[in-house]
Each structure stands twice: as structure tokens, then as C-alpha cells.
Amino acid sequence: MIARGRRKGEGPLQAPHRDDEFHPPTTTDPFWTETCWFTFTVPERRLSGQFYPFFRPNQGVVSAAAYFWDRSGSTTADSLHARHFWHLPIPDQPLSDIRLANGIAYRCVEPLHRYELSYRDPDADPDAGAESQAASVEGGGDAIRAELTFTSIAPPNYLGDSHLDQPGRYQGTIVLGGEEITVDSFGFRDRSWGPRSQFGRGIHGTPARCGGYSYATASDRDAFHAITMDFGTGSMAIHGYVLRDGTWSKVAGGSRRVLERDAHSAHPTVVALDLTDESGRELHAEGRCLNGLGLFLNPNLYSVNCLTEWSFDGITAFGEDHDNWSANGIKEFLRSSPSTDSAVHTTDPAQRGTPPTTDPTHRRFHEERTA
């Protein structure tokens, strides 16, 4: 079987795996959702990027976003590039070879392993040269484009039967304002499919108001990943893996803590992760956040996405840390009045199930912001 189209002339495609394609909705729930997220970085430039389509097949629409940011901006309003389109029609194309109206295109080359990704700013002139595209920034177009390949370094790690996470290497180029930037670094991707309501006080219909998504990859022999959620007793690991000395094992337990936050934005600046895998190995990692973009990835998921330099077991590696909150959770955290009589020493309320008002970092954030 040969899949549709050849964008780069690399020969016939292999038949995609079922999890490289759209999954038929199992209910008529209008909020049945499918996602296909790719995230990449250029660590030496403190540059991050990600593509995030959010499909609602029972409604026939997709929300599609492309974000690029570095240390020069921390919101979608002042980042290098942020385009998040709502209610685009889902094209009649397979997910394994699809082009969306917002400029994102995906092509699966090898099942669950290799993907070609491209992006064209839909507001830029596609026929303009580099010099003209650079000038178009002043006219409102960001003139950004990307041609990337993702190649996995490990098989997908499944959470149940409706979510997967996978590390890999990104190679290719990003053109930003006429400058071509080489990409050759480790990154990540994930996929989810199933009901995902945008209502409720917790994330994705759970009681958790906050949590995290953290990973680092040093090589195809040393890496980790963890999804953490706070159900009232701290931000605990519910999923992930540890890859040490070439041996891979699922995460059995662990926790994430934010050790320091920026006094003005409240974005994490230093984070820590403690994990135990199913073989009994323990991993302690500390991460220094090198940039941060705060945004609503969907109406009930606010996230601060940070390029992060991690240190674990004598290894230094780049990855990311995401500080995740429900809409209610982040509002309560940012707007609650700081307490003056707390003896709590941990620096993140998300890790202990106590109100944000007892967080020393939260107090400093409010004190310095209002000074």
C-alpha cells in the first residue's frame, strides 16, 4: 500500500499504523477530541516551537496552532510567532498525510517512527523572496516557515489505549524574518484521542487543578519523561518512562516540584522531578527554565511551556517543562491574596495540595509585582 502524495520525493510511504491516522469517534459527544502535537527546540538560540492541531471530528472542525518563542517574549502577544486558528474545517485527508488551512502539514514516512512536518505562515506572501518576507514583518506577517523531520529514538509510550508520548530527534530548518536557522536537537511528540470536555474546575474533566509535563533527552540511551497531576496531595507522576544506559522502563511513581518562580510572571524558573521506574531505579532531575510561553492550549488548559536544561545523574540534557493549570486553577493561583503567616517552605502549591496563598514564591510574586 502506498499513501497519498510525495512532498519531498523520498519514495513510497509505508502503510501508516492505525495510531498515525484519525481514530473513529466512539461516541457522538461533541467534545470527542483528537490531538497531534509536535514540539521542538534550538537550545543554543533559546528558541522553541510547536505545532498543535486539536480536532473535534463530531463537530467537523479543528483548532490549529503554531507557536515559536524565545526569551524575548513570554505570551502569545509578544512571542516571535503565535497563530491559533479556531473552527477550521477538517480537510478530507488522512492524518498521515494532511495539510491544514493554518499552514501546518504532516506526513508520516515510517509508521510510529518518522514524520515530515512543514509550516508556512498563512499571512505571509508565499511567492515572496527571503528579503521581501523579512520586510513583511513590519506589514503584519511574521514571514516564518519550517521544514522539519522527526525521527523517534524509542517506541511510543502508551497511557491506556488513547494516549501516546514519544521522544525523537528533529532535523531541518526554520526561517524567521529572513534568517535560516538549523534545527538538529531532541524533542517530543504526543497524541490523544477520546472525550475531552472544556468545562469543569479541573484539567480534562479530572479533579486536578494543576500538574506538569516534563521530559529530557540526552541520547538514545539516557532520557526521561513524566506527566504529573495534583489531585490534592501534591503533583504526582501518573505516566512516563526512564531510559538509563539504554534500558527503558515505565514510571511507577514520582513527583514534580517548582522550586522557583519568576517574581513578575510567576512562570517557573527552576523545577525538580523525582521518579521511580518499574524496575526500581530512582531518578532525581533538576531543570533550569531557559524561556517560557504562557498560553491557553485549549479553553481549560493553561500552560507555561519552557525550554529546560535538565541535570540528572551527572548528565546534562535539554528538554521541556510544562506548568499546567485548569482555567480556574491558574486564576486562583494568580489572583489569590498572599498569606503572611505561612510556615510552609516548599515553593509550589501544586506539590502539596494546599492553597496558593501559602506559597512563599507566590507571595514574592505579588509583593514585587505591586511594589
Q: What is the pLDDT of residue 364?
A: 43
Q: What is the pLDDT of residues 161-200, one digit of tens each?
A: 999 999 999 999 999 988 999 999 999 999 999 999 889 9
Q: How far apart are CA 104 and CA 98, in angstroms?
A: 8
Contacts of residue 9, defined as CB under 8 A and 6 or more positions apart, other chains included, come to none
Under 8 Å between Cβ of 251 and 240 = yes
Question: Could you tell me which residue, 141 or 301, shows the higher pLDDT?
Answer: 301
pLDDT above 70 for 73: yes
C-alpha cell belonging to residue 220: 538514545
Confidence of residue 123 (pLDDT cuts 50, 70, 90): confident
Q: How far apart are CA 49 and CA 41, in angstroms?
A: 6
Torsions phi, psi for 361 (to 5 deg): -60, -40
**pLDDT, tens digit, for every residue of 298-337?**
999 999 999 999 999 999 999 999 999 999 999 999 998 5
Q: How far is CA 97 from CA 15, 100, 148, 338, in A?
A: 11, 10, 15, 50
Distance CA 198, CA 71 (A): 30
Lowest mean pLDDT among 73-77, 221-225, 337-341: 337-341
Instruction: Name residues whose C-beta falls within 8 Å of residue 25's C-beta, 6 or more positions apart in sequence.
Output: 32, 57, 58
| Mean pLDDT value across the chain | 87
Per the structure block, which three cell numbers stand in for 7? Answer: 512532498
Cα-to-chain-centroid distance, residue 345: 29
Provide the pLDDT for residue 6.
39
**What pLDDT is stored for residue 265 in this prediction?**
95
The amino acid occupying position 102 is N
Q: Which of 41-50, 119-128, 203-212, 273-282 has the lowest mean pLDDT?
A: 119-128
Query: What is the DSSP secondary-structure string of 270-287?
Result: EEEEEEEETTS-EEEEEE
Strands 114-120 and 144-152, by their bridges, are: antiparallel
Residue 336 pLDDT: 87
Cell of 341: 503567616
Grid cell, residue 59, equals: 463537530
Q: If pLDDT is split at 50, 70 and 90, which confidence band does 125 have?
A: low
Angle at alpha carbon of residue 194, lines to 189 and 198, rounded to 5°: 90
